[in-house]
């Protein structure tokens, strides 16, 4: 049965996305300890970049410092990997640098779509990007979360491309949580 297979696919992918880097518990603490003094708590935030949680959506998206799924094009990550003596290195002058493990987390988080959603259950900020087809979080009716890009609505189904696999699925709306159904209907 087609829909049963899709449900299985959703459930399996939900399990895989549980390994995703979590913004709140893994990324925000890095910014707090290594960047906030100049990019949030300072009188005037440097470079017009505020890394506070509620300001993060302004840093994410096409043409911004964090480009979801594109770590190699994300200046936020690039600046943190420059040599100590590069004038653009962040934090400046190579002081209090990010460790290799922190850089890896940041890279993985961006690769996974730079979602700010805690535990991945709320829609990612990229959900507001018009027609960009960026990845969003989707919750199945039984609570499993996947990250996928909206493609189109097809009758009572939504077509989604799953970020982790690149595979496109036709998912009956009834298989999604009410919030995700609304998200699908609002997407264009």
Residues that bind ligand HEC (CB under 6 A): 34-35, 37-39, 46-47, 49, 65, 75-76, 79-80, 90-92, 98
Residue 81 beta carbon to ligand HEC: minimum distance, rounded to whole angstroms: 11
Residue 143 beta carbon to ligand HEC: minimum distance, rounded to whole angstroms: 33
C-alpha–C-alpha distance, residues 20 and 119, integer Å? 9
Residue 92 beta carbon to ligand HEC: minimum distance, rounded to whole angstroms: 5
With respect to ligand HEC, which residue has the nearer C-beta, 20 or 27? 27
- Cβ-contact 6, 171 below 8 angstroms: yes
Residue 149 beta carbon to ligand HEC: minimum distance, rounded to whole angstroms: 25
Per the structure block, which two tokens stand in for 172? Answer: 């009956």
- Cβ-contact 46, 39 below 8 angstroms: yes
Per the structure block, which two tokens stand in for 82? Answer: 């420059």
Number of Cβ atoms within 10 Å of the Cβ of 48:
9
C-alpha–C-alpha distance, residues 52 and 1, integer Å? 47
Per the structure block, which two tokens stand in for 133? Answer: 């087809």
């Amino acid at each position: 049965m087609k829909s049963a297979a899709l449900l299985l696919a959703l459930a399996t992918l939900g399990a895989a996305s549980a390994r995703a880097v979590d913004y709140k518990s893994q990324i925000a603490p890095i910014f707090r300890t290594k960047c906030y003094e100049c990019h949030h708590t300072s009188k005037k935030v440097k470079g017009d970049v505020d890394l506070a949680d509620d300001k993060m959506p302004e840093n994410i998206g096409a043409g911004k410092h964090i480009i979801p799924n594109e770590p190699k094009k994300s200046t936020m990550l690039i600046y943190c990997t420059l040599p100590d003596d590069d004038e653009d290195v962040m934090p400046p002058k190579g002081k209090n640098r990010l460790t290799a493990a922190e850089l890896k987390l940041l890279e993985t988080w961006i690769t996974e779509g730079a979602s700010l959603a805690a535990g991945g259950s709320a829609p990612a900020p990229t959900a507001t990007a018009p027609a960009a087809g960026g990845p969003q979080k989707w919750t199945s009716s039984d609570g499993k979360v996947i990250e996928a890009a909206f493609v189109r609505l097809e009758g009572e189904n939504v077509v989604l491309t799953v970020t982790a696999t690149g595979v496109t699925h036709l998912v009956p709306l009834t298989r999604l949580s009410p919030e995700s159904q609304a998200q699908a209907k609002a997407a264009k």
